[in-house]
Amino acid sequence: MPVRLNPITVKKLRRFRALRRGFWSFVLLSGLIVFTLFAELFINSRALVVRHESRWFFPAYGDVIPGETFGLGYPWETDYRQLRERLRTDPAARARGDFALLAAIPYNPTENCYPGQFFRARPPDLAQRHLLGTDTQNRDILGRLVYGFRQALIFSLWFVLGSYLLGILIGCAMGYYGGTFDLVFQRLIEIWSNVPFLYVVIIIASLVRPSLGWLVAINIAFGWMGMTYYMRTGTLKEMARDYVASARVLGAGDTRIILRHILPNTAATLVTFVPFTVAGAIGSLTALDFLGFGLPVPTPSWGELLRQGTQNLTTAPWIVLSAVTAMTLVLTLVTFVGEAIREAFDPRTFTTYQ
């Protein structure tokens, strides 16, 4: 069944397309997101395809394949760069048509790319395929940026879902029920908003090993309040409309009225906030990682790269350059998209007051 869009929504989407800066930012950002979701195909120490003694292997998305499988004589995970060299130089293997196809950047983001050599940030080196150089622990910066972006996206996705769900529910309830319930929650929100978020995160992060889940939970706990204001006013406005009164007269319950009638009519404005929330979430995660209260080592993260960069401004400027450029780029794109959405979805474009 084809999805039937509301004609107003179609109009809004058309208008969004017409806003060129926002639209192309959206395309570019989507491209980046798709790229990072399939990053294993481009940046990976595991081979994409191996043909060894007439058997096919696809290690990139599978289980660990020990080196013994390929006759390398060790029980731990295969070093595919070594395997590729061996298959290339071994005449028998070449005769059989054995090969190993590696990703364009054959390193993973947590791996020491210069085994046997000491830790030192190394500048970009195209021959070694370190397009942006390595960080202070010999890890590929591009890999860390891309996989770090993925972490940031997952984080913001959960954060948006969680904080909006909570904010919408509580905001609607406040507007719908009003009275004491509204009053109490308003005061609660005012108090809660004044808890210094960063200190609480620092305290919690120093007591437990902060996983992604923990960080999302903490951020949601301190990030849902803003949404309630919009939902509360939106609900109050819709409540006064005749269709709500008629639904009530027809005997609809509170849940049905809120979820089926009011919410769809208020939710449209929420869409315009999403890009900014995402930008905020990426900023939060980066800030926490920067301060050392974010994801556990050796998870790739932008904040950690930024920290390394600022500590080695003079000795390894490429670290801070990469991190800052990536962050600026993504946050700018998100902001452009956000502006375009806001403009496209602006109700004043479709209604005129007389």
Partner 1 sequence: MNTRPLRTLVLAALALGLAACSGSKNPDSANASAPGSTPPASDSAAPATRDNTAEIQAYYAAHPEFFVFKTPADLPANLTWEDGSDLPELGSPERKRGGTFQGRIQDFPRTLRPVGPDSNSGFRGFILDENALSLGQLHPDVPGPHRFFPGLATSWAVDLPAKTVYVRLDPAARWSDGPPVTTADFLFSFWFFQGKYIQAPWYNNYYGIGETYTRITRYDDHTFAVTLAQSRPDLLSRVLGLGPKPAHFYRELGDDYVTRYNWRFEPTTGPWVISDAELKRTTTARNYIVLSRLENWWANDKRQFRYRYNPAALHLRVIRETTKAWEAFLLGELDAFGMNLAEYNYERLPDAHPLVTRGLIQKATFFNDVPRPNYGLWMNTAKPPLDDLNVRLGIQFASSWQLVIDQFFRGDYTRLHTSNQGYGDMSHPTLRGRPFDVAQAREHFARAGYTIPGPDGILRKPDGTRLAVTITTGYEALAPVLTILQQEARKAGLDFQVEILDASAAWKKVQEKNHQITFSAFGIGVELYPRYWETHHGINAYDQPYAADGLTPNPARKPKVQTNNLESIALPELDALITRYDKSDNLDEMRVMAHRMEELLYANASFSPGFALPFFRTATWRWVNFPSGHAFRFSGDAFEYGTHWLDETKKPETLSALRDETKTFPPSVKIHDQWKPKD
Q: Which residues contact 176 (CB under 8 A, 6 or more apart)?
A: 235, 239, 254, 257, 258, 262
Q: Minimum distance from CB of 186 to partner 1 (Å)? A: 15
- Range list of H helices, 54-140: 80-89, 91-96
Told to check if 292 binds partner 1 by CB under 8 A, we report yes
Told to check if 45 binds partner 1 by CB under 8 A, we report no
Q: Is the distance from CB of 225 to CB of 192 less than 8 angstroms?
A: yes
Q: Which is nearer to partner 1, 199 or 353 (CB)?
A: 199
Q: Is the distance from CB of 55 to CB of 69 less than 8 angstroms?
A: no
Q: Which is nearer to partner 1, 2 or 115 (CB)?
A: 115
Told to check if 214 binds partner 1 by CB under 8 A, we report no
Told to check if 281 binds partner 1 by CB under 8 A, we report yes
Q: What angle do CA 153, 232, 220 make, to 5 degrees?
A: 30
Q: What distance in Å separates the CA atoms of residue 346 and residue 329, rounded to the nearest whole number?
A: 26
Told to check if 317 binds partner 1 by CB under 8 A, we report no
Told to check if 128 binds partner 1 by CB under 8 A, we report no
Told to check if 117 binds partner 1 by CB under 8 A, we report yes
* Site string (53-82) toward partner 1, x via CB under 8 A: ----------xx-x-------xxxx-----
Give the count of residues interacting with partner 1 (CB under 8 A). Answer: 55
Query: Which of 17, 21, 94, 120 touches partner 1 (CB under 8 A)?
Result: 120
Query: Which of 197, 248, 267, 343 touches partner 1 (CB under 8 A)?
Result: 197
Told to check if 136 binds partner 1 by CB under 8 A, we report yes
Three-state secondary structure call for residue 97: coil
Query: HEC profile for 172-219?
Result: HHHHHHCHHHHHHHHHHHHHHHCCCHHHHHHHHHHHCCCCHHHHHHHH
Binding site for partner 1 (CB under 8 A): 63-64, 66, 74-77, 110-112, 116-120, 136-138, 159, 167, 196-199, 205-209, 219, 222-223, 225-227, 229-230, 273, 276-277, 279-281, 283-284, 287, 292, 296-298, 310-311, 313, 315, 338
